[in-house]
Each structure stands twice: as C-alpha cells, then as structure tokens.
Chains A and B, each alone.
Chain A
Amino acid sequence: MKIENITLRGFQGFNDKLTIQIHPRMTLIYAANSFGKTSICEGIEWLLYGTTSRVEQAEYMSEYKGSYRNVHTPDNEPTFVEAVFKDGGSLFTFRGELTEQDPFKRFVDGIENDNWPIVGDLSKMPKPFVLQHALKYLLLVTPNERFQGFARLLGFDELEAVLGNIISLCTKPEARIPPPVRNFRMAVDVIEKRLMTQPSLTAVQKAYKRGSPHLDKTYDLILQESRLRVLPGTPDAGLLPRLLKIREEAVGKVFQGRIILERYSDEERRRIGQNETHLLGLVTEELIKEYTGLIGLSTLQHILEQMRLFELGLKLLEGTKPACPLCGQVITPTLLDHLHQQHDSLQNQGARTTALEEQRKRIAGLLNDLGSSLKSVQELHLSRISPLIRIKQSLDQLKAILLPKHEVHFTSIQQAILRLEEKKENIVQAYDRVATALNKVQISINASQEDATLLKVLGEALSHYVSEARLYIREVDLHVQPISDADQILRHELDALAGTQDISVLIDLLEQWRDIKKKLEIEEILEGLKDLRKAAEQYVGEKMRQAVAGNLSSEVMEWYEQIRTTGDPNVHFGGFDMERTQSGEVKARRIQVKATSYGKDLISAVSSLSESKLNALGLCLCIASNLKSETPFEFLVIDDPIQSLDTEHEAQCVEVIRKLVEKGKQVLLLTHNGRWVEQVRSGCRSFNGIYYEITSYNQAGPHIKEVAWEGWRQRLGEIDAILKDPAANSVRIQQAEEEVRLVMSVLTTEIYHKIKDVRKDAAKLNSDTVRKMLIECGVGDELVDKVTQSFATTDDAHHASVDYSAHRQRIHIYYNSAWKLVAFMKSL
C-alpha cells in the first residue's frame, strides 16, 4: 500500500488541520530544524502503530506523557492523523484519534475499528521508517540491546522472548523452589554440614562430595564406618539400632530428654478448623428456639398421664354395661361422647409431647457430642506442648550445657516455656468456662428448667474458646523453629560431651539416606538447568547466525557499497555474525558487526568505524530489512538520513534514495539540509516528485508550500546538454527523453493554470490528459499532436515498451516542440 495523502490536526507540532499530498514515487520535504518535519514522520508512525518509537524507546516514558497532543489545540477539537492509502486499485482512509478516554482510536473509512485491515501482524514487520535514532538502537548499544534490536528487525522477537523466559527460569532457580522442597533441602544440608566437620569420617566426606554418581560407594563407606563402632559381627540391618543404643547410653549419662515442640500437621489443622466451624455455628437462634421450646414439656407430661388414664377408662367400658365399673354411675351416650372427645384432645396433645421428647433427646445428644469433640481438641492442644513443659524441671541442667556458648537458644527455650504456659493457662480457663456453661445447659434440660440465657452464655464461652485456641496455635507456631534449632544445638553439645559426634552423624546418614539421595537428585536437576540454558542459547544463537550472517549481511552490504566512497580510507563494514566462545560455540546474545581495515579483520565495526560510516551502516540496515521482509507497506519514510554523513557520503546517499524509488518504494524523504536538498532534487529529477518547503512555523503549526521539483528551463537546459554531448550513451539519451515528457507535463499544467486557474498535478498526466488540457486551452492541433507524440514511447505508468530504444534525432524534434509550447505559454 502507498500513501495518497496525510492530514494532521492537533498532533505534535501541527495545530491547524493540514493535508499533505504524497507523490506515488517520491516526496521531498525540506524544513529547518524544529519546523515540524519530525511531526510528519511520527504522525504516520503513530497512525499505524498507536505509538512512536521515540516514546517506546524512551528511558523515562513519563517524560513523553501527553506529548502527542498539540498544546494549542482547543479542548473541544480532537487530535487526529488521517491518511488515505492506496492498495491496488482501492483507497482506504485510516484515521487515528486521540481522546481523553482512549489514548488511540482507529477509524477505517469513518467506521471505528479495533485493528487496521492489514494482513499480518504489524508488530512483527519492520516499520517502514528510517529514523534518526535507528543507528543508536541497533549499533551503539549494549550487546544485549543490540541482540534485541536485531531480533526485532529480523522478526525473531518471539524467539528472543522465549530465550529470555528460559534464562529467567535457569538463573538462580533456588529462589523459585517451593517452600516444602526448600525446607527439605535445608534439613539435609544440616546433615551434610555435620558430616563435613567430622575428622574421623573423611573417606565418607570425599565420596559424598563426588555427588550422585558415587552414591553406592558413599553408602558402603557409611556402613564400613558404622561397623567399626559396633560389636564385630553385627549384621548390616542391626547397625542403626546398635548405633542408636550406643549413643543413647552415652548421651543419657550427660542429659536425658529432648527439647521438642512439633508443628501442627496439615491434618491436625484441618481437624481444628472443622471443630472451630462447628463450635462457632452451634448456638444459633434456631437452637435457642428449640431449647426454650422444651419449657412446656413438664406440663405436657401431666397431660400424658391423663391421656393414659382416659385410655384405661375407655378400655374398661368396652364390653360392659354403660356404667362406670368403679362407682357404678350410668354412662349415658352423651357422657360417653364427651369422654371420647376428651380422650381425642389429650391424644393430640400427647403427640406434641412425643415430638418435644425427641427434640430434647436431639439437643442433649448435640451437647454430649460437643463435650466429646471439645475434649478431644483440648487434649490435642495440651499434648502439643507437654514435652517442652516437662523440660522446665531440667532447665538448670540445660543451662549448664548450653551456656555461655548458646545463650540465645537457651533464652528461646525459656521464653517458649513461659509464653506457652501463659497460653495454656488461657486455653484451660476458656475450656473450663465452656465445660461449666455446657454442664448448666445439660442440667437445665434434665430438670426441665430451660433458660435461654444459659445457652447464650454457652455460645459466648465457645466463641472465647475458639479465640484463645487460635492465639495458642499462633504461639506454638512462633516457637517451633527456635525450639527445633535449640534441639539441634543440644544434640550437638550432648554428642560433644558424650563423645558421640561421629556416631550421631552416622545415625543421621543411615536414617536419612533416602532423603539424602533425593536431595542430591534435586541438586542435579537444579544444576542441570545450566545445560538447558546453554542448549537454548545455542539454538537461538544458531538461528540468529543463519539470519544475520547470510542474507542480511549480503543485503546490507549491497546498500553499504552504494554509500561508500572511493576516497574513503579502506576501513569498512564487513558483515554480521555471532560472536563465538574460544571453543567455537555461538554466543547467543552477541551480534558481531564485523569490519575490515585494508583487507584485515578488525575486532568490531562498532569500535573501529567512524561515526559517519556507522550511521551509513544503520541506514543500510534499516533499508535492507524493509526490502527483505514481507510487508504490506510499499512506502518508506526517511527522516534526515545524512545527519552525520560527510559531504561525499551525502552524494552517495542520493543514489541510495534513487535506487529505492527505482525498486518500487514510494519514498517520503525529509531533511533539514538545504545543500543536500538540491542534490536530491537534481539526482531524483526524473521521478518528477513533489517537493515541499516548510517556510515558517507559528502557533498554528508549520506553513508548508509546494515548490516545483525543478523548473522547465532547467529541464530543457539538461536536455539540450545531453543532445549536444557526443559521449552521451543510450541511458543518458533515455533520461533526456524522460525529461522531455516531464517538461511537456509541467508546461501543460502551467498553461492550464494560467487559463483555467486550476492547478493540476503534472506527475499524473498522460498523453490523453495532456491532449485534452491543451485543446481546452486553445493550443493548435498541430502542436498538440507533436506534444503528445512525446508520450508515445511509454505507457501511462511511464514504462518503456519492450522494443524501445533511445533516439537522439527523435528527441531533438520533441525538444523543439517543447520550445513551441513555451512560446505559446509566454504569449498568454
């Protein structure tokens, strides 16, 4: 796709709306610095990408916040950039709009769209821009940044990101190990450290240090050392029990007991959690209602007795005369009906009593279960700290063993005992409070003296208990590690005092052998991540090498050759490669920019080439990557490419621009260098492009005016010079013929403008349009025929036919016709 025109409004330096027509082949914009030139480039970039590379690559993005909007644009006016693109025969209007709510809104032909209708992923294609800072971000950067820049340029940014992810995983993986694995390693580390400090176990130490492959040998040595310390003939299976006994006996003479405070297991925590939920949810409004509902039960008991009496009486009446069997009173039918009604009524009330009885049983059962589960949880809590509390009686002895060397650990033990006893006291009191309240509720039920207050007191006691239990657990958790550390220290001190250090280490090795093997396996996995990183780096490095050392190098070199001058010192860019290690392996993130000096290799182009050559190289790199890649963009925006080039290279750069256009690129070239503009205008004259000058700048934005690329006089002068030059070859003569057509088009537009006051684009004229315009302007038929004949050797796209050949005499005739047209124009 090519650009037809671009409109900017409220964007960067452009306050007022301004539309710039873009020539299908070449547009040149000249402006002094700060006249809005870069705003045009960045406007197109922002339109396509919603951002600009200057902002993206900024070290501090905040500095660029709000920089897209022109500060003078009225609040009610939007900031937008709009461009008409031509793709094949179709025109599309892309509009990017900046709003307060949305930093970038896209519209295609006036309809809001989430994406531009462009095939492929824009972020994966080279941007069609050659910008001033390209050099900086490709060459004069750290090796890692250069690698990232090239990866982006070559469409390998995903590959680079994958490598980054793998490196991130493989670098210091210890930080990412899950806590259970970390604790597991630490526990085995302690055994390892103790082993390494035992002078009598050097053989085991040496074997152990050799790692996983020597595990069997290490284990044999452990058994061998163990055998030396027990009765001869002890079987291998009996070594560990025997060592344990020897140690126990020896240490027992110094101190008996251990300092233990076990952490609540996950299963225990789950059970406690369930119990808490049960306790806190027990005393509900519903239970209180059910409980107080039992109050009527004693009255109903009396009714039950009455009902049973009625049942008995009615049974006695069956099969007898209608008279009372006790007093003989005659039972009239009316009286009998009354008795039956009474009985039915009592039966109904009896059913209610049975339901209440069931309710009472259920509540009583609930309270009994509560008592049992509470008791069980309370035992769990108290048993947790009882081994530690028992040590309290031996504190003096512990003090003598641990002080002064291990005062910290002794203090930890003291504090743990003190605090845990306090918490124990609290939880015991809370438990007693629950038990008392529970008992009162149970008694009230048995005595049919239900009282809602009792149940509420029970609820409060349960809540208090749960709260104390949580504090208790937290306190236990706080002391588990310090007590475990103190226990380890105590064991070591006891072993030292009892002379069982080596036996203790052997016991640990035998007891923990499976864990030790697992730990070594873990180490092997973690160590092996270096190999994964290396494999990833080699893979990516090789991919990059293939890309940079192959086509990219030759394509960049081709453009670089265009820019290099013959008078240069012979110190030049020599292609790209990947740096290698001494053993020849590719370094993944090191792009090597090679250079040669009079045929000899230099270490690096970056440190050897002049700034001018490096700048030229950066320019070539951008151009090559744009031409190399599959991209929907047929245009290239080039912003001040000669900034640090010397005069000779500037001239060469014109040739590069020319070649780009000839290769089919639509070039939009912007520069601040007036001298170079003249070179470009002269060197690219045959494209007959559009030339703009930004002549001033004020609050409204830049003032831009179109200037003829080159006047008809200069063009006719050039034709005359070629025709008079006997050495002019066919290429030069062809160039003269192209110039003739351009002169005819320019003169036609000038005449049309004078007569019709309408400015037409000379670049868009062909034989038919020229004929029509000249006839409209009253030019005679004979001259019109002669003028339009000059278009005969090319088609409308200015392509020569297959059998075309430059012809000096024919061009001379055209040249004379052009002067006749000049004469007509001057007569107006």
Chain B
Amino acid sequence: MPASGSPSRIQQYLEELAATVKNPVHRRLLKAHQGDNPIHEMETELGRILNEVVERSED
C-alpha cells in the first residue's frame, strides 16, 4: 500500500536516502515520490525518463 501520512517525515527519509545515491536517474525517481499515489508518480517519472532517451534527437 502506498505511503501516506506525515509528508515532512517521508520527505526527510527520501532526502536522506537520495544523499546516499549518486545516479541522477535514481535521484529523479526519489524526488518524484510524492502525493497520494507515490508509486504511480515514480512510475510516471520512470516512463518520462525512458521517453526522453527514446525521443532525444541530438546524439
């Protein structure tokens, strides 16, 4: 079940966790963890990241 509750505490966990990862993609995904349905938000962000790769024209 998705996390709901104190946004500030969840935010604090996510920030602490983000500080332990170096991959910018992972940081973007952690940043997307918000709202009432954080799994959906992170999945959407993952889709966005992958789409950006597919649609990138300069290479």
Contacts and interface: CB of A to CB of B under 8 A. Distances in A.
Interface stretch (A173-181, A220-228, A229-237, A633-641): A173-181
Contacts of B47: 176-178, 181
Given A181-B51, A518-B54, A531 B23 contact: yes
B20 A180 contact: no
Contact of A121 (B6, B50, B53, B59): B6
A538 B21 CA distance: 11
A164 B26 contact: no
Of A158, A169, A181, A538, most B-chain CB atoms within 10 Å: A169
A539 interface: yes
Contact of B39 (A168, A518, A528): A168
Interface residues of A, number: 33
A522 interface: yes
B3 A162 contact: yes
Nearest to B23: A528
B13 A158 contact: yes
A161 B3 contact: yes
Given A121-B6, A178-B47, A528-B26, A539 B54 contact: no
A164 B51 contact: no
Interface in A158-217: 158-159, 161-162, 164-166, 168-169, 173, 176-178, 180-181, 184
A169 B14 contact: no
Interface residues of B, number: 33
Interface in B22-44: 23, 25-26, 29-30, 33, 38-39, 42-43
A556 B49 CA distance: 47
A419 to B, nearest CB: 32
B20 A539 contact: yes
Contacts of A178: 47, 50-51
A646 interface: no
The B contact surface, by secondary structure, is helix
Contacts of B20: 535, 538-539
Nearest to A528: B23
Contacts of A177: 46-47, 50
A105 interface: no
Contacts of A180: 51, 54
Given A168-B39, A539-B17, A539-B20, A158 B6 contact: yes
Contact of B59 (A181, A514, A532): A514
A176 B13 contact: no
A536 interface: yes
A124 interface: yes
Interface string A517-550: 1100110010010011001101100000000000
A184 B16 contact: no
A173 B43 CA distance: 9
A651 B26 CA distance: 55
B53 A521 contact: yes
A518 B53 CA distance: 6
Contact of A181 (B14, B33, B42, B54): B54
A121 B29 contact: no
Nearest to B3: A161
B39 A165 contact: yes
B16 A539 contact: yes
A538 B17 CA distance: 9
Contacts of A162: 3, 10, 13-14, 17, 33, 38
A524 to B, nearest CB: 9
Looking at A123, A173, A517, A539, the one whose CB has the most chain B CB atoms below 10 A away is: A539
B43 A536 contact: no
Nearest to A524: B25
Contacts of B1: 161, 164
Contact of A525 (B4, B38, B49): B49
B46 A169 contact: yes
Interface of B: 1-6, 9-10, 13-14, 16-17, 20-21, 23, 25-26, 29-30, 33, 38-39, 42-43, 46-47, 49-51, 53-54, 56, 59
8 contacts: A158-B10, A169-B29, A177-B50, A181-B51, A181-B54, A525-B25, A525-B46, A535-B17
Interface of A: 121, 123-124, 157-159, 161-162, 164-166, 168-169, 173, 176-178, 180-181, 184, 514, 517-518, 521-522, 525, 528, 531-532, 535-536, 538-539
Given A123-B5, A162-B14, A184-B54, 15 more contacts: A158-B5, A162-B3, A162-B38, A169-B39, A176-B47, A177-B46, A181-B47, A514-B59, A521-B53, A525-B46, A532-B23, A532-B26, A532-B29, A535-B17, A535-B26
Leading 3 A-B pairs by shortest Cβ distance = A161-B3, A178-B47, A181-B50
